[in-house]
Structure formats: C-alpha cells, structure tokens
Amino acid sequence: MSALKLSGIGHAYLGRTVLDAIDLEIAPGEIVALVGPSGCGKSTLAHIAAGIVDPQRGQVARCYARHGMVFQEPRLMPWATAADNIAYPLRLSGARRAERRERMHAAAAKVALARDDLGKFPVELSGGMRQRAAIARALVVEPEFVFFDEPFTALDQALKRRMQDLVIDAAAAQSFAALFITHDLIEAVRIAHRITVLDLNGRGIAGDRALPGIPGAREDRTVFETVQHFLHDDPLFGHINDVDERKVA
C-alpha cells in the first residue's frame, strides 16, 4: 500500500520538457528525500505531487486524507499574527474557534514556538521563528503526508539542524509520510528513510538508496561517512552538485 504514487509524470514549461517518465512511490510513514542537481525539476515534481501544479502527463494517486506543505519561504500572511497564520487551514475547513485555538497551541508546542511569540506578526519574528510557524501551520491539520520543498535552505547550519530535528520528532510522533526536497545530502541522510535521486535532466528517477537505521538515531559520524561514500564511491550521486544555469534563476 502506498501513501503517494506518481506514475509516468511528465511536465513542460514553454515547450521545454522539465520532467518526463517520473515514477515514485512512498509508503505510509516513510520519509523520502528527493535530491538532484539544481534545476532538474525537484520543486516542480513536489508541486505536482501536492496538487499545486497539474502534470501534463501521468497520474498522481494520493492515498491519504490530509496533507500539509512547507515551502522554501515561510509564506506567512504579513497582516496576521503567528497564531492566526498557524490556525488558517483550520479556519478554511470551518473548524470552530475553540477547536482552532486548541489545535493551534498544540501545533505551536510541537515546533517549540513560545506562546509569547504567537501574538506577533511575521515581521516581528526571526527567520527561525517564521519557519517554525510555517511548520506548525502544516502540522495543525494533523496530516498523514507532508511535502517539504527545501524549507531550510536559507537558514544557517545551527538553525537548520534544529529545524531538521523538529521535523524528525514530529514525523515520529504523528507517523506521517513525507517527500522532502533538498540539495543538501547531510540533511537528506539525517531526515529520511530513503534517498531518491532525480535524473540530471528530470528524465525519470535515476535510482534510490535505503538508509540504515531510523531518522534521528543516526550518529553524526555515520551521517558524515554515509555522505562521503555517496559522493566519492557511488556513481548515482556523481552529478548531484551540478547546476544547469539555463534552468536556475
């Protein structure tokens, strides 16, 4: 049984194919990190899988009731407080005010966002706090699947690690499946059960590698050695750091 299944996905922009023949399956409770060279279509594939973009070819089977999404930027509404931003999906679903408040506080607690910060507007929050609010907004609907589109790219290493730990802990507590887009192999090895590599030109899945152990239980030395093995000894990752300047703004 799959939580998400992509079959023969293809997509093009302005007549140029960016994705073709993409097949990907994610099991319930599984976190898959999708990596690949910059510009190969990782974010486009995530947006298709989440239903934000319609594929031109292929099928998407979402075998879950609810999903959340965390983007590269927090995308918080600037006129709303952190609390209102987190609770916004519940407001859209018609949840009563008391329920929205209770679930908003529970989601904020999961990402360690202090109650004193919930009444602040995004401009008053640090970058890390804004990203915590964005993660809480995704978790407030109690999702069975979460899409992460390079959510920690703009954060420094220490803050990035704390955000990764939040995701690892939340996934363990809520047992959601996830597609985690990243260009950072260390992040992928820390956070995922499996790494899937997108072809250099978005033409199918080049291959995948199951990771030993479970997210959150791997020692830093194991993470480092695994990444070094991938980069230096595994041909699947040979083009992982390539950049196609025609596809990257």
* Domain 1-65+145-249 in this protein, CATH class: alpha beta
**Residue 224 CB-half CA count within 13 A:** 3
pTM for the model stands at 0.92
In angstroms, rounded to a whole number, what is the distance separating the alpha carbons of residues 180 and 147?
6
Kindly list the domain boundaries of the chain, sorted by start residue.
Answer: 1-65+145-249, 77-143
Backbone angles phi, psi at 59, to 5 degrees: -130, 145
Tokens of 196: 């899937």
Strand, coil or helix: what is 127? Answer: helix
In angstroms, rounded to a whole number, what is the distance separating the alpha carbons of residues 72 and 202?
20
- Taking only the tens place, the pLDDT of each residue in 73-123 is 899 999 999 999 999 999 999 999 999 999 999 999 989 899 999 999 999
- Taking only the tens place, the pLDDT of each residue in 16-56 is 888 999 999 999 999 999 998 888 899 999 999 999 999 99
CA distances from 240 to 12, 167, 201, 228, 231 (A): 22, 24, 12, 13, 8
pLDDT of residue 242: 65
